[in-house]
Amino acid sequence: MFLPKFDVNLSKTFKLYTMNTQATYKAFRVEENDGKFTTAIKDMPFLEISEGELLIKVSYSSLNYKDALSATGNKGVTRNFPHTPGIDATGVIVASHSNKFKIADEVIVTSYDLGMNTDGGFAEYVKVPVEWVVKLPAGLSMKEAMMIGTAGLTAGLSVLRLTETVQPDNGAIAVSGATGGVGSVSLAILNKLGYKTVAITSKNSEVDFLKKLGANEVILREDFENLDKKPLLKPLYAGAIDTVGGTILENLIKSVSPMGTVSCCGNVASPKLELTVFPFILRGVSLIGIDSQNYPMEYREKVWSKLATEWKLDTLAETTTEIALEDLQAKINLMLEGKLKGRTIIKL
Ligand SMILES: NC(=O)c1ccc[n+]([C@@H]2O[C@H](COP(=O)([O-])OP(=O)(O)OC[C@H]3O[C@@H](n4cnc5c(N)ncnc54)[C@H](OP(=O)(O)O)[C@@H]3O)[C@@H](O)[C@H]2O)c1
Residue 20 one-letter amino acid: N
Question: What string of pLDDT tens digits covers the 348 residues of the chain?
Answer: 343 433 434 444 454 455 445 689 999 999 999 989 999 999 999 877 888 999 999 999 999 999 999 999 999 999 999 999 999 999 999 998 888 899 999 999 998 999 999 999 999 999 999 999 999 999 999 999 999 999 999 999 999 999 999 999 999 999 999 999 899 999 999 999 999 999 999 999 999 999 999 999 999 999 999 999 999 999 999 999 999 999 999 999 999 999 999 999 999 999 999 999 999 999 999 999 999 988 888 899 999 999 999 999 988 888 899 999 999 999 999 999 988 888 899 999
Give distance in angstroms: CA of 338 to centre of ligand 1.
8
Ligand 1 site, CB within 6 A: 64-66, 150-151, 154, 177-183, 201-203, 221, 243-244, 265-269, 290-293, 335, 338, 340
What number does the ligand 1 atom closest to the CA of 64 have?
Answer: 15
CA distance between the termini of the chain: 20
Ligand 1 atom nearest residue 292's Cα:
3
Where do runs of H (alpha helix) occur along the chain? 8-20, 65-71, 142-163, 181-192, 207-213, 221-225, 246-254, 278-283, 297-308, 328-336
> Which residue has a Cα nearest atom 10 of ligand 1?
266
Contact 329, 123 (CB under 8 A): no
DSSP H helix total and E strand total for the chain:
10, 15
Distance CA 293, CA 185 (A): 18
Measured CA to CA, the distance from residue 187 to residue 250 in angstroms comes to 20
> Of 63, 65, 189, which is best to mutate to test ligand 1, by the most ligand atoms within 8 angstroms of its C-beta?
65
CA of 35 relative to ligand 1 center, distance in Å: 27
Strands 197-201 and 36-45: unpaired
Residue located nearest, by CA, to atom 32 of ligand 1: 269
